[in-house]
Chains A and B, each alone.
Chain A
Amino acid sequence: MTSPAQPLVEFREVRKSYETTEAVAGVSLTIAPGEFVALVGASGSGKSTLLKTVNRLVDPNGGTVLFEGERVESLPLAALRRRIGYVFQSIGLFPHMTVGENIAIGPRLVGERLPEGRIARLLELVELDPAMAVRLPDELSGGQRQRVGVARALANDPHLLLMDEPFGALDPITRDALGERVRALHADLGLTTVMVTHDMAEALLLADRVLVMDGGSIVADENPQALLHGAGGTIAQDLVAVPRAQADRLAERAR
């Protein structure tokens, strides 16, 4: 992947420290329009913190983040977030609103009514029955809920989709299916996607660029093929080794 002249997201020397720990230690990087980027690392490596500096759920102590060429801190907070789809592990569907109301919440915040046809279309995009629009979140399975979460994130036609461990709480089959679906949507809708995950296999299968974080810094920035061929250094290769070893053991057993 080559970076075009105008990146969609640019991190410049972004730092974030909490009382005793430095979560992000001066990260600089650019993300081009159309990229599917996976941010991989162990717990506490700073990947979620870095992701959240884009939609300002976290404000950095130093450095700056640019979104479509503008400094995020110079944009009105609510307006910035409405331009960015956000999907995260605990989903956060509003339990007192129907599925349809949940999906339509973004436009509603700026006084627009999302037409029913559009809600049905969004449900279809995430492979749910449009009749589900009238249900309450409590009546859905975990996988269905996260599909609604993705539909909600797409309702504002965002250019950027941020996903923080989006499939972390799902069973493996649902996880796999939803991952594939999101990858397809990314392509179909022309999105730019940044996904945080601790699962290197997921990153290698879905992303076209994998960033490995450790101790608040980016320690590897490679495409999946390169990583699978040994690039990216020790920390990245340690992470790649886990699914590879599993695959080898499975192959062993099958014999």
Chain B
Amino acid sequence: MSEIGTALLGLGDKLAAHVLLSAAAIALGIAVALPLAIWASRSPAIARATLGFASLVQTIPALALLALFFPILLSLRAVFGEGLPTLGFLPALLALSLYALLPILRNAVTAQANLDPGILEAADGVGMSFWQRLRLVEAPLAAPYVMAGIRTAAVWTIGAATLSTTIGQPSLGDPIFAGLQTQNWVLVLAGCIASAGLALVADALLGTIEKGLATRRRRLSLAGLVAVLLGIVAALAVQFGNRAEDRIVIGAKGFSEQYILARLIGQQLEAAGYTVDYRNGLGSAVAHEAVANGAIDVLVDYTGTIWTNQMERRDTPDRDTMLAEIEEWETRTTGTHVLGRLGFENAYGLAMPRARAEAGGFAAIGDLAARGQGMTIGGDPEFFERPEWIAVRDAYGLRFAAQRNFSPTFMYNALQSGEADVIGAYTSDGRIAADDLVFLDDPEGAFPNYDAIILLSPETGADPDIVAALQPLVGAIDVEAMRAANLSVDRDNDKLSFTEAARELAARIGL
């Protein structure tokens, strides 16, 4: 339990970010929902349209809604200019506000529809203007119901805000996603406890305001309101009290190697006197776009990923040709600067437990095509959508009985427990050796090369000091060092934190 306590104490800044994001989203939700509700109360058509829209939004999974704002904001740059952020606070705010809309709107509309018509006739009869009627009669009578809607919205928003980690907004989702990645359940629990605790506190405080409104005890409502505002002010103090200017933002996709390398890069930059910040758990496409448009400054990416996904190439040339073409393409189209290779490759490959492979006589991918039709293949959530997989599948004519998605960590567990027979694994993964897995040969060369490379955003790439600070990493990490570092955070016992693993890796490669 004390471990969880320690983990919780380390979440202060995540909690503050979470509070501010949720509060801003609910505030925006209220600001949009209430005028809409007033409008809707005057027109049944508007009521149907707005409630229909809000219900439709609600059916979109929160994770997808958050992700959708990235392309939406990207296309809006045509209108608002290149300064419009596409990751982080803004898309998280917009998506969560949309989510908060429904409960507030529905309660407000229902409250107005259920107002006693006699009371409204009396309001008109005594000569109230539109605004007097709204302020003196409709608003006070609807307030407790509206407040109940705000309460529901607050609980939903605080829960869904944990997902904003995936689009680069710090939140209490950070420890949850990082912990899921490494099966560090203490971290997952700490994140869940903090987020659930926050939701309960918010619910209780808003409930106090609601009760005050319903029983016409102004002081009770005020006390609740003051407590809510104090919480937001405290979060603002934490968030902006220690904010340094000019911090370098390092991105990391959602797997261990990325987290460790991001910390390694961060430590190099901090040693050179920079302040750094991390955006963890980004999706592949989002991460590349983010470094290209400067939402993040530094990213470790893989040649094969850019080659097939961003450049949409299907041929597989040798690694030097590939890197040269990527550098040329990035310069020409995105302005992203390729600093160089880190030194190891993290390819996709199809892996099986050694015993199983030997018993079944599986040595090359082609053997799966011949004898693997009854098997189940596992992959990370991106794997089966990636062009590399489609190329490999088509090159060998692969067909399986089932394909299943797992988070990268659970994928290896699935292989151990027999829930998957073969997985799309990563060659630099520490668990390859630890779990005694073998990669099946790829004689067709259908999987491209996946050298790890450092990408710098156009602005960062033009900064000679940052380039100089990161230069020592180029060519410094061989695959053995990377596997050892990956294993140190992924193993079941004696796990290191990402920061510790990065320090150990730095020591091993002599930085």
- Whether a CB of chain A sits under 8 angstroms from the CB of B78 is no
Q: Cβ of B119 < 8 Å from any Cβ of A?
A: yes
Q: Is the CB of B125 within 8 A of A94?
A: no
Give which listed residue, B116, B118, B124, B141, contacts A57 with CB less than 8 A: B124
* B216 CB–A CB distance under 8 Å: yes
Question: With the chains together, A109 CA to B125 CA distance in Å?
Answer: 12
Contact-residue size bin, chain A (C-beta under 8 Å from the other chain): 20 to 34
A55 vs B140: C-alpha distance when bound (angstroms): 26
Stretch of A81-89, A195-203, A216-224, A235-243 at the chain-chain interface: A81-89
What residues of A have a CB within 8 angstroms of the CB of B122 in the complex?
A: 86, 88, 91-94, 149
Query: Which has the most chain B C-beta neighbours within 10 Å: A91, A92, A105, A106?
Result: A92
Q: Is A147 an interface residue (CB 8 A)?
A: no
Task: State whether B121 touches A88 (Cβ < 8 A).
Answer: yes
Q: Is there a chain A Cβ closer than 8 Å to B417's Cβ?
A: no
Q: Which residues of B contact A77 (CB under 8 A)?
A: 127, 129
Please name all residues of chain A whose beta carbon is closer than 8 Å to the beta carbon of B124 when the two chains form the complex: 57, 81
Q: Are A78 and B216 in contact (CB under 8 A)?
A: no
Neighbouring B residues of A149 by C-beta, 8 Å:
122
Tally of A-B residue pairs with Cβ under 8 A? Answer: 62
Q: Does A80 touch B at the CB level, under 8 Å?
A: yes
The contact size tier of chain B is: 20 to 34
On chain A, the residues within 8 Å of B121 by CB distance are 57, 88, 90, 92
Answer whether residue A79 sits at the interface, using C-beta atoms and an 8 A cutoff: yes
A:137-169 near B, CB below 8 Å: 149, 152
**Complex CA distance for A159 and B9, rounded to whole angstroms:** 72
Q: Which of A90, A95, A96, A105 contacts B126 (CB 8 A)?
A: A105
For B141, the chain A residues whose CB sits under 8 A away are 95-96
Q: Chain A: which residue is nearest B124 at the CB level?
A: A57
**Contacts of A90 on B, CB cut-off 8 Å?**
116-118, 121
- For B32, the chain A residues whose CB sits under 8 A away are none
Are B137 and A86 in contact (CB-based, < 8 A)? Answer: no
Q: A109-129 interface mask toward B, CB cutoff 8 Å, 1 = contact, 0 = none?
A: 100000000000000000000
**Across the interface, do B125 and A78 meet the contact criterion of CB distance under 8 Å?**
no
CA distance A95 to B127 in the complex (A): 18
Question: Is B132's beta carbon under 8 Å from chain A?
Answer: yes
B128 touches A55 (CB 8 A): no
CB proximity of A81 to chain B, nearest CB, Å: 3
A197: shortest Cβ distance to chain B, in Å?
A: 18
The chain B residue with its CB closest to the CB of A106 is: B126
Inter-chain contact A94/B119, CB cutoff 8 Å: yes
Secondary structure class of chain B's binding surface, majority of residues: helix
Chain B nearest CB from A189 CB (Å) reads 18
Shortest CB distance A118–B (Å): 16
Contacts of A92 in B (CB 8 A): 116, 118-123, 125
Given contacts A95-B119, A96-B140, A96-B216, contact A88 B127 (CB under 8 A): no
Given that A96-B140, A96-B141 are contacting pairs, would A78 and B129 also be in contact in the complex, using a CB cutoff of 8 Å? yes
B216→A81 contact, CB < 8 A: no
Task: Write out the residue numbers on chain A whose beta carbons fall within 8 Å of the beta carbon of B116.
Answer: 90, 92
Whether A81 contacts B137 in the complex (CB less than 8 A), given A92-B116, A92-B119, A94-B119, comes out as: no
Which B residues lie within 8 Å of A78 (CB)? 127-129, 132
Given A94-B137, A95-B141, A96-B140, is A109 in contact with B126 using a C-beta cutoff of 8 Å?
yes
B393 CB, min distance to chain A CBs, angstroms: 65
A50-92: CB near B (< 8 Å → 1, else 0) gives 0000010100000000000000000001111110001010111
Write the nearest CB–CB distance from A112 to chain B, whole angstroms.
13
Partner of B125, one of A55, A79, A95, A96: A55
A189 to B116, CA, bound (A): 31
Q: Which residue of A lies closest to B140 (CB)?
A: A96
The answer for the CA separation of A140 and B128 in the assembled complex, in Å, is 24
Partner of A81, one of B118, B120, B126, B140: B126
Q: How far apart are B222's CB and chain A's nearest CB, in angstroms?
A: 17
Tell me the chain B residues, 322-370 only, with Cβ under 8 Å from chain A: none
The one of B117, B125, B216 in contact with A86, judged by C-beta atoms closer than 8 angstroms, is: B125
Q: Is the CB of A109 within 8 A of B118?
A: no
8 Å CB contacts to A: which residues of B97-140? 116-129, 132, 136-137, 140
Cα of A160 to Cα of B126 in the assembled complex, Å: 13
The chain B residue sitting closest to A96, CB to CB, is B140
Query: How far apart are the CA atoms of A90 and B136 in the complex, in Å?
Result: 19
User: Which residues of chain A have C-beta atoms less than 8 A from B127's C-beta?
Assistant: 77-82, 106, 109
Report the Cα distance A223→B108, complex, angstroms: 51
CB distance from A134 to the nearest CB of B (A): 13
Bound state CA distance, A80 and B140, in angstroms? 25
Which of B68-108 touch A at CB < 8 Å? none
A58 to B216, CA, bound (A): 34
In the bound assembly, the distance between CA atoms of A77 and B123 in angstroms comes to 13
How far, in Å, is A233 (CB) from chain B's closest CB? 33
Assembled-state Cα–Cα distance A78/B125 (Å): 9
Bound together, the chains give a CA A106 to CA B116 distance in angstroms of 20
Residue interface bits B138-171, CB-to-A below 8 A is 1, else 0: 0011000000000000000000000000000000
For window 191-229 of B, CB contacts with A under 8 Å fall at 216
Chain A residues closer than 8 Å to B126, beta-carbon distance: 81-82, 86, 105-106, 109, 152
A241 to chain B, nearest CB (A): 33
A sample of 30 cross-chain residue pairs with beta-carbon separation below 8 angstroms, ordered by A number, consists of A57-B121, A57-B125, A78-B127, A78-B129, A79-B127, A81-B124, A81-B125, A81-B127, A82-B127, A86-B126, A88-B121, A90-B116, A90-B117, A90-B121, A91-B118, A92-B116, A92-B118, A92-B119, A93-B119, A94-B119, A94-B123, A94-B136, A94-B137, A105-B136, A106-B126, A106-B127, A109-B126, A109-B128, A149-B122, A152-B126
Known interface pairs A106-B127, A109-B128, A109-B132; 15 further A-B residue pairs with C-beta atoms within 8 A, sorted by A's residue number: A57-B125, A82-B126, A88-B118, A90-B116, A91-B118, A91-B122, A92-B119, A92-B121, A92-B123, A92-B125, A94-B119, A94-B122, A96-B216, A109-B127, A109-B129
Q: Which 4 A-B pairs have the closest CB atoms?
A: A92-B122, A90-B118, A81-B127, A86-B125
Name A's B-contacting residues (CB within 8 A).
Answer: 55, 57, 77-82, 86, 88, 90-96, 105-106, 109, 149, 152
